[in-house]
Chains A and B, each alone.
Chain A
């Protein structure tokens, strides 16, 4: 990439961390007693869920900042972050589903956390679709900021109401949380993976923002040429 030196370093650092994370997840962390090898999905599943949530949080924050400052810089961060969040949310859903199949024998369970993640995904999918349907830049920024803010607030309420709804009903066959008994080596690996994914998020965010700037530049040059 013909890019600044800083982002090259960031890219290499992220790559190295990903390799180390893979090593830790597969070779360093011990086998789990009840689940066996399959539990290693955890080391990439949980971090991507965390980063997805972080990314949507960043989107919400930057949307608020945009509406207050009216600077398109914030909108650029908000939309880039939402796109990366959507990608990681997709990864979370797919890996989670695969894990569920091996553990619970079903691809999907309408449990609070799973359902909330799915709705989170749908909300930001609609955010991305909305952006695609508006041509005027400032209008796109205003309208999508509003959706970005509402979506994030809604997720918190969705989680609360679904959890409550499910606890009022009989529970399906769900093993539930396994965070309870993590060995120190597993915990270390998990934390390292979370850190790596956070780094990955910022690397991707940076290059996505660069990309948007470049595409705005192209539009600008086209305008200049058209005026001549």
Chain B
């Protein structure tokens, strides 16, 4: 029973860790894109 618990913990920790890392990277990238866009616009304007 302990083994079963361990196995499922591993699965969920790895999966949610991966999804979390994707999510945070994406958030950061979108923020960067917005910043860069506004910088380009202010440069041209």
Q: Output the nearest chain A residue to B8 by Cβ-Cβ distance.
A: A44
Please count the residue pairs between chain A and chain B whose beta carbons lie under 8 angstroms apart in the complex.
80
Interfacial residues of chain A within 185-228, with CB under 8 A of chain B in the complex? 200, 204, 207-208, 210-211, 214-215, 217-218, 221-222, 224-225, 228
Residues 1 to 45 of chain B near chain A (Cβ within 8 Å): 1, 3-4, 6-8, 10-11, 14-15, 18-19, 22-23, 25-27, 29-30, 32-33, 36-37, 39-40, 43
Task: Give bound CA distance, A208 to B18, whole Å.
Answer: 10
Which residues of A are found within 8 Å of B37, using beta-carbon distances? 221
Stretch of A55-63, A93-101, A173-181 at the chain-chain interface: A93-101
Chain A neighbourhood of B15, CB < 8 A: 87, 91, 200
- The yes or no answer to A172 lying at the interface (CB within 8 A) is no
A41-B14 in contact (CB<8A): no
CA separation between A215 and B25, bound complex, in Å?
9
Q: B26 touching A214 by the CB < 8 A rule?
A: yes
A98 proximity list for chain B (CB < 8 A): 3, 6-7, 10
Closest Cβ of chain B to A197, distance in Å, is: 10
Question: What is the CA–CA distance of A99 and B10 in the complex, to the nearest angstrom?
Answer: 12
Q: Which residues of B contact A (CB under 8 A)?
A: 1, 3-4, 6-8, 10-11, 14-15, 18-19, 22-23, 25-27, 29-30, 32-33, 36-37, 39-40, 43
- Identify 18 residue pairs between A and B in the complex whose beta-carbon atoms are under 8 Å apart, listed by A's number: A2-B27, A38-B4, A41-B7, A87-B18, A91-B14, A94-B10, A98-B7, A99-B3, A207-B26, A210-B26, A211-B26, A214-B26, A214-B33, A215-B25, A218-B29, A218-B32, A218-B33, A225-B40
- 8 more A-B contacts (CB under 8 A) besides A40-B4, A95-B11? A1-B27, A44-B8, A91-B10, A91-B11, A91-B14, A102-B3, A211-B29, A225-B40
